[in-house]
Amino acid sequence: MKRDHACDKTVFIDGEAGTTGLQIRERLAVVEGLNVKSIEHSDRKDPVARKQMMASVDLVVLCLPDDAAREAVSLADELGERAPKIIDASSAHRTSEGWVYGFCEMSSGQDQKIANAQRVSNPGCYPTGAIALLRPLVEAGIIEGEYPVCVNAVSGYSGGGRGMILDFEAGNVEPFSVYGLSLAHKHLPELFKYSGLKRRPIFVPSVGNFKQGMLVSVPLHLDTLSGSPTHADLESVLMKHFETSDLIKVVPDLEVQNTGGRLSPCALNGTDKMELFVFGNGKFGQAVLVARLDNLGKGAAGAAVQNIKLMLDLN
């Protein structure tokens, strides 16, 4: 266990017993210059004890349901100048004014915005993949803002919270299901806002009978895109955008061909990495963009740790 040095930066994970909280704490255990503080189990719902803890640390990570996260932010607000920096891992503040979106590779300068921020909203797992695929192509003018985009995705059941995890592990649910068919999934607002699109995309999520891992895909008709690009053109734009990233890799065409036309959602499990693929068929003028990531890694805890390091200048 790392020693508690007086000069260490301090973090409190509010909701550390949940899936994301546990993953974040595990990753932070090996970060030098950081001390993670915990509240007594009996005090974890006591607003006075939580507020005292908040006042004693440099940064708080909220791993709570949306309403509870809003309440926690209200507690921090009461501290005034003694309020810590906050990373919210819920979806409560992802499009809120005054919060910086915590996807540091999203666009040029986003990492610096996070580093300078007092409040950062950690991205959702599905939007992380979708925005990585779409934003560079929108910024390059290949996908126009009004383009009608459809995003399809499948995730492991760990992304659904405690109830879904218990149901799957007890064998009480079907092996695969599509959901969010009201077309109003809670991740849509951030996907829409930060992809750069001007027309609301259609988002079709699904869950499979595997614990973690994720594939996010976007099908495209190449002749409907600006300049009628080839799939190699799309790959080139993505490669340039992420060329300096240590965690996001665009898989080149030769390696794409070696997949045999099949991708497992679980290949990056246990890592904080993301892979982007461009599958194309020139004969039919079609392409499919795919992002692969661990929904608990780059899609949750991994992104939170990136943001913690940036906000506390630990890189």
Q: What is the pLDDT of residues 104-163, one digit of tens each?
A: 999 999 999 999 999 999 999 999 999 999 999 999 999 999 999 999 999 999 988 788
CB 312 within 8 A of CB 34: yes
Return the pLDDT at 27: 95
Residue 1 located in a structural domain: no
User: Are 170 and 119 members of one domain?
Assistant: no
Residue 114 located in a structural domain: yes
Ramachandran category for residue 235: left, alpha or beta (phi over 0 → left; psi -120 to 50 → alpha): alpha
Number of separate domains in the chain? 2
Residue 2 located in a structural domain: no
Return the pLDDT at 6: 54
pLDDT higher than 70, residue 1: no
Report strand pairing: 274-281 vs 202-208.
Answer: unpaired
User: Are 115 and 164 members of one domain?
Assistant: no
User: Are 131 and 147 members of one domain?
Assistant: yes
CATH code, 31:
3.40.50.720
Percent of the chain with pLDDT over 70: 97
Radius of gyration for the alpha carbons in the chain, expressed in angstroms and rounded: 20
User: Are 84 and 168 members of one domain?
Assistant: no
Q: Give the C-alpha separation, 297 to 272, whole Å.
A: 5
User: Are 72 and 169 members of one domain?
Assistant: no
Neighbours of 295 (CB within 10 A): 29
Residue 162 located in a structural domain: yes
Residue 4 located in a structural domain: no
Q: Which residues are catalytic?
A: 125
User: Are 109 and 168 members of one domain?
Assistant: no
User: Are 218 and 94 members of one domain?
Assistant: no
CATH code, 208:
3.30.360.10
CB 202 within 8 A of CB 130: no
Q: Give the C-alpha separation, 108 to 13, whole Å.
A: 29
> For residue 36, what are its two tokens?
């993670």
Structural domain of 202: 125-295
> For residue 309, what are its two tokens?
């390091």
pLDDT higher than 80, residue 311: yes
Q: Give the C-alpha separation, 288 to 134, whole Å.
A: 12
Instruction: Give the tens place of pLDDT for each residue, 255-310.
Output: 777 777 789 999 999 999 999 999 999 999 999 999 999 999 999 999 999 999 99
Return the pLDDT at 195: 98
Per-residue pLDDT band at 3 (split at 50, 70, 90): very low
* Secondary structure (H, E, C), the chain: CCCCCCCCEEEEEECCCCHHHHHHHHHHCCCCCEEEECCCHHHCCCHHHHHHHHHCCCEEEECCCHHHHHHHHHHHHCCHHHCCEEEECCCCCCCCCCCEECCCCCCCCHHHHHHHCCEEECCCHHHHHHHHHHHHHHHCCCCCCCCCCEEEEEEEHHHHHHHHHHHHHCCCCCCEEECCCCCCCCCHHHHHHHHCCCCCCEEEEEEECCCCCEEEEEEEEHHHCCCCCCHHHHHHHHHHHCCCCCCEEECCHHHHHCCCCCCCCCCCCCCCCEEEEEEEECCCCEEEEEEEECCCHHHHHHHHHHHHHHHCCCC
Lowest mean pLDDT among 42-56, 222-236, 254-268, 278-292: 254-268
**Mean per-residue pLDDT over the chain, rounded:** 94
Return the pLDDT at 160: 81
Residue carrying structure tokens 């300078």? 116
User: Are 95 and 192 members of one domain?
Assistant: no
User: Are 222 and 93 members of one domain?
Assistant: no
User: Are 58 and 182 members of one domain?
Assistant: no
User: Are 119 and 160 members of one domain?
Assistant: no
User: Are 242 and 289 members of one domain?
Assistant: yes
